[in-house]
Chain A
C-alpha cells in the first residue's frame, strides 16, 4: 500500500477537530510450530520447526478527532504473502471512520473484511484462544483486505446488537501454487505466486450480545490476473484411443473470474460455561484452478477454567468430488513413448504440473490445545493437531515424485501472544 494514502485520507477530515486523542498500541505473537514430517505444511511447518508460520509483530494507531470522526492505521511485520523466504512490512489497515449517529458507521480506506468471526482480528493472537485459526475455514476467502468503502448500520435491540455491513473495494493479492516437479517457468520444483487484482463486495449480518455472536455473509469476488489472462480449464486432448493428455497450454482463456463466497459462523456460550464455536465457508472458482472451489467448516468446544481455556476442534475442507476425481485422472495420466512431434517425457511432466494447478483440497484436522492468560492482554498457547489428507491437499508441499494424498501430519505449536 502506498505510504501517501493515509495522510491523504486524514487531510480530508474536518479541520474543526479540537483536541485529538491519539492511542498507540502494539501486538505480536512469537509462535513456534513443529511437525513430524519432512515436507512443508501450510508453507512453513516441517520437522525442522519454524517460527515463520505464526509469528507476527504489529502496531496500531487509533486517532479520535471527536466522537464522530476517527482514523486507524495498523502495520505489521510478518512472512511475505508473495515469497516463502521473505518477511514483509505491510499496512493492514488505514482508514478513516465517520459515525454520524450511534447506529451508522462509515469507513473509507484500507479495511479488513468481516468474513469469518476472527478474520478482522486474526493477526492479534491475544484476542482468541486457538493457537492457530483453523486453516480449513480461514483460508477460503481469496482476499481479506480491500481498499474501499464499508457502511454499517446497527440496531440496538433488547439483548442483541444487530449490525448489517456492506462493503466494496479492490486490492492486489497473491495466490500461491506449489509445483512438485517442474515449475511453470522453470525446471525446478517449488512455490510460485500469481498476482491478481481482486475486487470484492459483500453484505454481512452480525448479531452479538455479551456472550454470543452469530454472523452470516454473502460476498462476490472478481479476480483478474495482473498482466495476463487466466486459464479457464484444463482440456483433455486425445492422441489415440485410450491415450491423451491434459493440456495446460492450449486452454481457453478468460479475462476475469467471478467468485461467489458464502460465510456462516456462530460462537455460543452454553450452560456450564462451555463455548461452542462453529464456522462454515464455501467458494466457487471457475478456472483451471477449479479445485479452489471448496467448502470448509469447523466445530470447536472450549471452556474457561480461571486463566486456562482448553479447547478441541475438528475441521474439514473439501473440493467437490468430481474435481477430486479429475485431479486423480490428471495426476495419474501417462502417455507412452510417442512419435514426433510429441515429446512423451515433457507431456508426462506437464500432467503433474496440471494436477498441481488444479489446486484441490481434501483434508481434515483434529486439534487439542489450551490457552493460558498471563494477563488480560497476553496469553500463552499450546496445541497438538493431527491432519490427514484424502485425495490431495494443496496445503501440503508434496515431495518431488510423490503427491499429497493420504498424508498424516502431527503439528505441535507453542506461542506467546501479547498486546501493549
Chain B
C-alpha cells in the first residue's frame, strides 16, 4: 500500500515537472482556423460556440487530470474549483453544460481527428504530425 502511494506521488511529481517543459496546445479538426487566447477562454466557458464562423465542439479531460490542470491554469487562468464553480452556475441558469469529458489524451486525439469542429488541449509532445494546432502560447 505504502509502495503504491509512493509510486503515485512520484508519478504525479514527474507529471508536474514534465508539464513545465511540455506546454499545453490546442488542436482541432482539420480546417478550423487559428484562435487567440480570449477565444479559447470563451469557447471553454460556453460563451461562444464557434471559431472563425465555424462550429466548434470543445472537449475536456477529467477533473484532476494534470493536463487539464495545466490548461486551466495557463490558458484559462482558473483553478479546478473556479472552473467547476463557473460551470455549476452556468448549467443551473440554463445556459448549457460544460464540455464533454473524455478519459485520457489518447481518446482526445481520436475524438479530434474524427469529429468535425472538435477542439481539445493536449501536451505539445503528444501532438500528432500534421495536426491542426489552433493555439499555442
A: which residues have CB within 8 A of B? 21, 23, 25, 27, 60, 62, 64, 66-68, 70, 72, 74, 93, 95, 97, 99, 101-102, 105, 107, 111-112, 120-121, 123-124, 126-127, 154, 156, 161, 210, 373, 376-377, 419
User: Which residues of chain B come closer than 8 Å to A99, judged between CB atoms?
Assistant: 49
Q: Are A102's CB and B84's CB within 8 A?
A: no
Verify if B113 is at the interface (C-beta below 8 Å from A).
no
Q: Are B88's CB and A127's CB within 8 A?
A: yes
Q: Are A62's CB and B97's CB within 8 A?
A: yes
Q: How near does chain A come to B57, taking the closest CB pair, in angstroms?
A: 6
Q: Are B93's CB and A120's CB within 8 A?
A: yes
Which of B48, B92, B96 is A121 in contact with, Cβ under 8 Å? B92
User: Which residues of chain A come closer than 8 Å to B125, judged between CB atoms?
Assistant: none
Q: How far is the CA of A126 from the CA of B57 in the complex (A)?
A: 27
Which of A74, A111, A121, A210 is B89 in contact with, Cβ under 8 Å? A121
Residues of chain B in range 76-133 having any CB-CB distance to chain A below 8 Å: 77, 80-81, 84-85, 88-89, 91-97, 100, 117
Known: A127-B89, A377-B88. A67 touches B50 (CB 8 A): yes
Which of B49, B88, B95, B100 is A102 in contact with, Cβ under 8 Å? B49
User: Which residues of chain B come closer than 8 Å to A68, judged between CB atoms?
Assistant: 49, 55
Q: How far is the CA of A102 from the CA of B56 in the complex (A)?
A: 11
Q: Are A25's CB and B94's CB within 8 A?
A: no
Q: How near does chain B come to A29, taking the closest CB pair, in angstroms?
A: 12
Q: How far is the CA of A142 from the CA of B89 in the complex (A)?
A: 24
Smallest CB gap from B48: residue in A: A102
Which of B42, B88, B92, B97 is A376 in contact with, Cβ under 8 Å? B88
Q: How far is the CA of A156 from the CA of B93 in the complex (A)?
A: 19
- Nearest 6 interchain pairs by C-beta: A376-B84, A62-B97, A120-B93, A102-B48, A121-B92, A67-B49
Q: Are A121's CB and B100's CB within 8 A?
A: no
**Main SS of chain A's interface residues?**
strand
Which of B42, B56, B80, B89 is A67 in contact with, Cβ under 8 Å? B56
Q: How near does chain A come to B77, taking the closest CB pair, in angstroms?
A: 8
Q: Are A101's CB and B47's CB within 8 A?
A: no
Q: How far is the CA of A379 from the CA of B30 in the complex (A)?
A: 42
User: Which residues of chain A come closer than 8 Å to B100, judged between CB atoms?
Assistant: 21, 23
Q: How far is the CA of A112 from the CA of B92 in the complex (A)?
A: 10
Q: Are A95's CB and B94's CB within 8 A?
A: yes
Which of B48, B56, B88, B94 is A107 in contact with, Cβ under 8 Å? B94
User: Which residues of chain A come closer than 8 Å to B96, judged between CB atoms?
Assistant: 62, 64, 70, 97
Q: Are A126's CB and B88's CB within 8 A?
A: yes
**Can you name 14 A-B pairs with beta carbons within 8 Å?**
A21-B97, A23-B97, A23-B100, A66-B55, A67-B55, A74-B94, A97-B94, A99-B49, A107-B94, A111-B94, A120-B94, A156-B48, A376-B81, A419-B88
Q: How far is the CA of A121 from the CA of B88 in the complex (A)?
A: 10
Smallest CB gap from B93: residue in A: A120
Q: How far is the CA of A235 from the CA of B22 in the complex (A)?
A: 79
User: Which residues of chain B come closer than 8 Å to A64, judged between CB atoms?
Assistant: 96-97
Q: Are B91's CB and A25's CB within 8 A?
A: yes
Residues of chain B in range 12-40 having any CB-CB distance to chain A below 8 Å: none
Quick one: CB contact mask for B46-66 with A, threshold 8 Å, 1 for yes? 011110000111000000000
User: Which residues of chain B come closer than 8 Å to A93, judged between CB atoms?
Assistant: 94
Q: How near does chain A come to B42, taking the closest CB pair, in angstroms?
A: 7
Smallest CB gap from A61: residue in B: B97
Smallest CB gap from A109: residue in B: B94
Known: A66-B55, A67-B57, A68-B55. A376 touches B80 (CB 8 A): yes
Smallest CB gap from A120: residue in B: B93
Q: How far is the CA of A419 from the CA of B49 in the complex (A)?
A: 25
Smallest CB gap from A25: residue in B: B91
Given pairs A377-B84, A377-B88, 19 additional interface contacts (CB within 8 A): A21-B100, A62-B91, A64-B96, A66-B55, A67-B50, A67-B55, A67-B56, A70-B96, A101-B50, A102-B49, A102-B50, A107-B94, A111-B94, A120-B92, A123-B92, A124-B88, A127-B88, A156-B47, A376-B88
